Amino acid sequence: MVDQNLIIAVFLLFIVVGYFSKSGSVLSLEAYSMSRNKLNWFVISAGLSMSFAGGAALLNMASLGYSFGWQALVDPISFLFGTFIVFACLKFYRKDNGITISDLLSGTEPRLRYLIGAISSLVFILVVAAQFVAISKLLHPYFTWIASELFTLILAAITFGYVVIGGFKAVNKTDVIQLIVVFVFFITPFIFVSLKTESEYAGKLGFSAMPFDVIVLLGYTVIFIPFSQDINVRVKSGKSNKEARKGVFFGALFYCVIVVSAIYLGITLNSLGVTLSDPETAYISFFQLLSPGIGILAVIAAMSIILSSLDSFSLNAITSVARDLLRRGDQDDERKLILVSSFIVFSIAISTALYFNEILVIILSAILIYAAVLAPIALCRKFGLQDNMIFFGSVISIILLISIEAINTITIPYRSVSYPLINFIIILLIGAIMKMMRAHG
């Protein structure tokens, strides 16, 4: 009962801070989704580290460490390389007036803007769905008298609500508190438990070879970070270039500390010969088995990380749907757009969470969609292809890839590489054909 009360108390703390962070009536999407030139480096670093270190980066990194050992380091290493790209392009983010990924990549072609907006919105919604699953899996064992589906719905609705009301300001305030909670309730107990745990670290259960597709998909973080909406809005929100740069640096540092600790945690369980029926329980099992007395602290820390990622990507999804898909012009009632967008995002995310109920499946699907569609578009724009050529090529490629997935008899190996390559080649071919048609036109 004490554990349950503590969980409820900390959860309510985040919710109260989130709901009471609203300042007046939000009249524009930009005011709702960022605080341009207002944030110091610590707030930026808290937002970035907590946003990316969600259920996938904590529960799944512990799971991957348990199953694959130090091979899981491909994720934090890719994150650091992605951060280096952000440093190189920091002035570009600061000067650009866009908010969403579509603003960064679509150019002047409105149809390409809708396409990128639809794909990026879908990716964000899938990440939100994964966090819904993660928070439910983490906390439901303490509230087993509530049906798991209803429990997921209640937690999702309460958390999503403060994002709809408070926007970026609510997300930032809760991020700072959540970062402090994570370092006090997870990193500190983790160090304490690890130091007193004896292990040969030889992998008594044995580590499997990480599948090629999983390695590549985790490696795509190097692309995801520079084209992340979180990076875009938080760099723009820095008081200065220096504050933004420091925020990105420490955000990456905090992220890596959290993720590497989670990986090490999973490796330790494997090395001790602990058998888990579900590797996604590695994080909780570590503390329950090795130090039951402080296990609840790790649960609260994990709850903090998941809620932070959930609210950040909820904000991204709401903003992307409203700005890229629903907005028609400057005369639109943008507060109404936010509400309509919120309903769409929540409905799809909670439906996805309840249907799949698996964190890793949803996250890897989101990364695959992102890599297969958005990465080739960014590359083709870098090569100078015209936006209409990129649009038509991408549409044809998406139809082809969906058809391949729908036909069970066709299997393409190494989808993490082959799908983006197929999309890239098709865009180039369509571009060449359109140029030839114009030349002979």
The answer to the question of residue 374 being in a domain is no
**Rounded to whole angstroms, how far apart are CA atoms 228 and 100?**
9
Does residue 203 carry a pLDDT above 60? Answer: no
> What residue type is assigned to position 382 of the chain?
K
pLDDT digits 0-9 by tens, 211-242: 888 888 888 888 888 888 888 889 999 999 99
The answer on 393 and 314 residing in a single domain is no
The answer to the question of residue 73 being in a domain is yes
The answer on 426 and 316 residing in a single domain is no
The answer on 411 and 347 residing in a single domain is no
Burial class (CB in 10 A: 0-12, 13-18, 19+), 400: middle
The answer on 351 and 398 residing in a single domain is no
pLDDT digits 0-9 by tens, 99-140: 888 887 776 678 888 888 888 898 899 889 988 888 888 888
The answer on 315 and 210 residing in a single domain is yes
Domain total in the chain: 2
Does residue 294 carry a pLDDT above 80? Answer: no
**Rounded to whole angstroms, how far apart are CA atoms 271 and 201?**
5
The answer to the question of residue 373 being in a domain is no
The answer on 441 and 310 residing in a single domain is no
The DSSP line for 48-94 is HHHHHSSHHHHHHHHHHHHHHGGGGGHHHHHHHHHHHHHHHTHHHHH
Query: Which of 342, 368, 394 is where one domain is finished?
Result: 368
The answer on 178 and 74 residing in a single domain is yes
The answer on 234 and 200 residing in a single domain is yes
Query: Residue 400: which domain range?
Result: 383-441
Q: In whole angstroms, how large is the CA radius of gyration of the chain?
A: 22
The answer on 397 and 286 residing in a single domain is no
The pLDDT, as a whole number, for residue 419 is 86
Looking up tokens 């429990």 gives 151
Average pLDDT across the chain, whole number? 84
The answer on 357 and 388 residing in a single domain is no
Which of 17-26, 346-355, 368-377, 405-414 ranks highest by mean pLDDT? 346-355
pTM for this prediction: 0.86
The answer on 251 and 360 residing in a single domain is yes
